[in-house]
Amino acid sequence: MWEYSVLRWIIENLQSPIVTEIMKIITLMGEGAGIFFLISIIMLFWKKTRKAAIVSIIALIFVSGFNNFVFKYLVARPRPFLHPELGGDALWLNNHVLAFGAESKFNDFLVPSSYAFASGHTLSAFLFGFIVAYYHKKAAVPVLVFSSIMAFTRLYFGFHYPTDVIAGIIWAFVASFALIATADRHEQDIVAWFKKKSSKKPKPVEEEV
């Protein structure tokens, strides 16, 4: 299975104590899309970033929520370290994850217990990344780089197959631009309605005799 080979190569060749600690922090930031909700809420305070923030929050709630609480359970794909068809290799990766999680209760929290497809961390990261990149071109490179690192953490720890991550990116791309198009279309309608209403002069109130 090529995906498992990719995971094994990453774990055996790219892991190091310092990088692992950094990856732990980043992947923890993506739990429940926490970092992306936080940034979006902060963005609400500025008019320039408010639209991107609102679209991001809607995307994170409905698209990521559907993936994490419905879609994953419909597909029911086991995590790589739990897949029954991988035999001895699956045991090897399972031992790696258990060792990672046994270091402390904090790490127990990081080892996922839900299904794998599609990667929730990746989906949330790229929903936020694509939306912010669309509305704020200057932020596109840093935000998409961070989204990519977030997605890579899930491969780094063997928590997802590569196709889980790829699916999360594709889904995020389609969903984010569908929401952007919808938001832009409705925004114009709302602005036109508001201008129409505000242009009407109120009728004078007749004084009672």
Residue 124, both tokens: 């949330």
For residues 97 and 44, what is the distance between their CA atoms, to the nearest angstrom?
38
Whole-number pLDDT of residue 109: 59
Residue 117, both tokens: 């497809």
> CA dist 208 to 5, 80, 203, 205, Å?
86, 79, 15, 9
For residues 161 and 48, what is the distance between their CA atoms, to the nearest angstrom?
38
What letter does residue 117 receive in the DSSP assignment? S
Burial call 29-47: b when 16+ CB within 10 Å, e when fewer: bbeebebbbeebeebeeee
Contacts of 80 (CB under 8 A, 6+ apart): 3, 4, 7, 86, 90, 93, 116, 158, 159, 160, 161
Whole-number pLDDT of residue 61: 93
- Which residue is listed with tokens 């935000």? 143
- Residue spans of the domains in the chain: they are 2-198
CA 207, chain centre distance (Å): 60
What letter does residue 102 receive in the DSSP assignment? T
- Residues 74-130 pLDDT 10s: 998 888 877 766 666 777 677 666 666 555 445 555 677 788 899 999 999 999 999
Cα atoms in the Cβ-side hemisphere of radius 13 Å centred on 201: 3
* Contact yes or no for 131/80 (Cβ under 8 A): no
Which residues in the chain land under pLDDT 70?
84-88, 92, 95-110, 188-209
Whole-number pLDDT of residue 209: 45
Whole-number pLDDT of residue 208: 53
- Share of residues in the chain with pLDDT > 70 (%): 78
Amino acid code (one letter) for 42 = I
